[in-house]
Structure 1
Amino acid sequence: MTLEVVGLSGAPESVYRLLVSLGEMSVNEVVGRVDLSRLAVVSALESLAEQGMISVTDGIPLLYRATPPDVVLVPQLKRHAEALDLARTEVTELVQAYQATLRMQDTSHLIEVITGAEALRQHLQHIQSAAQTEMLWFCKPQYVAMPAGSNTAEFEGLARGVRYRVLYERAYFDDDGAVTNIAKAVEAGESARSVPHLPLRLAVADRAIAICPLVPGGPQGSPGQPKAALIRDRSLLSALIALFERYWEDAVPLDLDGSGAITGQTDASGRTPLSPMDRQLLSLLVAGVTDKAIATQTGLSRRTVQRRINGMLQLAGATTRTQLAWQAARRSWL
């Protein structure tokens, strides 16, 4: 059972799934199909009716019909998604507040302050040259120390087996030459994803050292010398890495098409249209209907259903069906 997040569990969930899969049924028919007592079935039906999850048709015997899941479940899922978005914003603000507090205190034992674009560029090259396993990046538009296409250390790192996971803020693609340079990096092995907005610039090497800005500045920033922090403190690194992973999970994967062009970017609203059939499959999937039952209802083969669902998983950048449902609600696909 996986619908607790939308307030449905136990016997009501079992009965609702059954009605979604098989259509309208009488009490006796439901009792014959689920491992529940008649009293439990009647109680579940009454609960579902109070929540608007089912409707009752007149006649003898009374027949119960499921309210479409995209009508009753998807709005609730969207509300939960919005709550998660708000919580993520609060966490980001807490991280920024923590950094501000450190700046007002003696931070010499926690961080090293880097001043100037050239010093920042050298440090970014150094941590990449020393990286053994992984580099994590937040890339925002308008460079501070490294113009697009100048980071040759990345290609050297990729060549020796360092994994690069890079998150690009959507506005980054408007910078001169940005799309071409991203395509070259992806072709070389970079794992790239896109998000509407990033909270800060960030580079993390081997989860052991990070560079992030303290104040704006530089060739494309505010007047004055940019200042950045070279961070080795374990607790602060953990917070920054957790922030990266949270954004990475929700981001849209970028890939190359047959012509070598970047694909996977969404429009300004973040919406990616699905076909009517895919929307129907997604609605049933959100309700927890099995692949076999979906195939029966839609007239598709079970293999076709699984192929379409796998396609939506890739489109959403999700690894599980639960993540797909969350992403569908977040991106207003239903």
Structure 2
Amino acid sequence: MEQKATRLLKGIVSDELLNSYTRLLAAGSCPRDEAPDLLGGAGQVEELTESGMAHIQSSGPALPQRLVPVPPDLALQGTLADLTRRLVADQERLLDGQRRIAESHPWTSSAATESADRLVRIITDREEIGTVSRALIRAARHDWMTLDNQSMERPIDELTAVPPPPSLDGHVRCRAIYESNCAGHPVGLRSIEIAVEAGEEARLLPRVGMKMKLADESIAMLPLTPTGMSGALLIRSSVIAGALREYFEMLWERAVPFGAACAESPLNEKEQKVLSLLVEGVSDTVIAKRTGMGLSTVRRHSATIRAKLGHNNHHFAAGVAAVRRGWIK
């Protein structure tokens, strides 16, 4: 693994940073507070994390944080993405150069020699799946897109709800589509709120059939099982990644924004509060618990709202109609 890292990163990053990275690879991981001693100072730890070659892993507030290296190929891709973000002033020249290369070497000619092993890889090691999943966001240059649902291997609690990574300082647009049930659980709801506060754009759908992580139209991760933790597919094929991008955009158009009620709504304050939860697809019982209203009161408000919207049978359909009328932002 250390030899592969040297082959991929030599000359791309400084020798000092490469030495720190290979030491971390050899160790596998280390407690965060011991990382400066292992790697040669706090500056090396900061540079590794900022360049996307390592990340801080936390399993929850009750457990110590660890510094974990990303796989060498993803470290290279994350480093290149970071370099691209730093070269904003030269971006047009970079893109123009890439277009010229594409014209000189069409995809049709390179596709014949492209290795299938490079385009698609099956991962079955649980630890590697977790590491790759967390590291993928660093490979995004423009867009980061995720699909998420409640398929988990253990009940959601404070330890499983780890805050999401940052939105890359605004250089990358981060969008997520959640299954509406995710917002029906207090911890799940708080996780979405944290992501939105960090700059993520979040929307809800009644059902999200699978989890997905997609960086631009270049690399994607799909689950081979409902949770994705015992088998995952890492895809670098631009054809498949492009199709997944189209799939995400279709779901994005159908999904309902996770947000506050609009001031122009014709509903009173209590009805507006109920509507903002109807749009998440949660039940009357959950709405009653979260608002402190009686169940009968919630049902009366729900019936009034749905009658005005013309959707008498389905809460989520009423939420969609409210969004389209501008009652929900």
- Scaled to the shorter chain, the TM-score interval is 0.3 to 0.5
RCO greater where, 1 or 2, for CA within 8 Å and sep 6 or more?
1
TM-score (norm 1): 0.43
